[in-house]
Amino acid sequence: MANQWFRLYSEFAFDPKVQMLSESDQRRLIMLFCLRCSNADVTLQDKHVTFQLRISNEEWAITKAVFIENGFIDSENNVLNWDKRQYVSDSSAERVARHREKARNANVTPCNVTVTPPDTEQIQIQNQKQSKPKSKELPEKSGQFVLPDWIRNESWDGFVAMRKSIKKPLTLHAMELMISSLDKMRADGEDVNAVLEQSIMNSWQGVFPLKTPQRTSFSDQKAQKEADSRARLDAWARGDPASPKSTYIEGEFGRA
């Protein structure tokens, strides 16, 4: 049954699987929840999802692969574990019907003892907690993964989806190591987004510096300039009139 609202639990802000998503994918996940809430009996086709999210088919293919990998949806875009988190009692029509039924029973069978019936929803929640198996939790020392702002969401999501397509999905620890490697490359002047795209195009498991001609470092350039300056100064001191740099030397050193 369609509803105008749904339950969103506070653990959304702390769940590792959610926090490993990019901000754009987190928004798209919330949008899927909204579509599921308002279209309970309708199968969400890919074309409907891309229209509602205002994204391209290619963007949805990458996002969908990430959602399936993390167990949020299935291949038919159905939100998994929805019924475990949402209750029939959340419908106002159901609540009104129960209230009217209680009122009719109270009028038909008067009683001098007031008995408060148990809240079936609370019982359901309690039973669910008792029967729910304990899942393997990440060690406390493992921090929550946050994508740095110097990496584009599209580049990172594409890399994660590529790793999954080659049957080498990234773990949380692997993501942290990958970010550390990219940060070192960034310090060396590499375009980390281009590095990720290079790995995507070549289906590489890791990240590597871009294949470009070797660049001369600033210190090497400075040393070369100093050597050239000394050579020109020696030629000027010898009075070599054929030196093509004599005008430059006079302009540089003749002001003393």
* pLDDT score for 143: 57
Structure tokens, 120: 């079936």
State how far the Cα of 25 lies from the Cα of 4, in Å rounded to an integer.
Answer: 23
Nearest to 205 by CA among 148, 167, 243: 167
User: Domain ranges in the chain?
Assistant: 10-85, 153-202, 220-253
* pLDDT score for 141: 46
State how far the Cα of 181 lies from the Cα of 184, in Å rounded to an integer.
Answer: 5
Q: Each residue's pLDDT tens digit in the chain (256 positions)?
A: 567 778 888 888 888 889 889 999 999 999 988 888 877 666 788 998 999 899 999 999 999 999 999 989 999 888 888 878 787 665 666 667 777 888 887 765 555 555 555 555 556 666 666 665 554 443 444 457 889 999 999 999 999 999 999 999 999 999 999 999 999 999 999 999 999 999 999 999 999 999 765 555 566 677 778 888 888 877 777 776 555 544 444 444 444 4
**Residue at token pair 């291949």:** 75
Q: Is the pTM of this model over 0.85?
A: no
Structure tokens, 39: 């279209």
The values of phi and psi at residue 70, to 5°, are: -90, 0
Q: Do the beta carbons of residue 207 and residue 185 sit within 8 Å?
A: yes
- How distant is the alpha carbon of residue 47 from its chain centre? 23
State how far the Cα of 63 lies from the Cα of 66, in Å rounded to an integer.
Answer: 5
Which ranges constitute the DSSP H helices of the chain?
16-19, 23-38, 46-53, 57-69, 82-85, 92-108, 120-131, 153-165, 172-187, 192-202, 218-237, 246-253
* pLDDT score for 124: 62
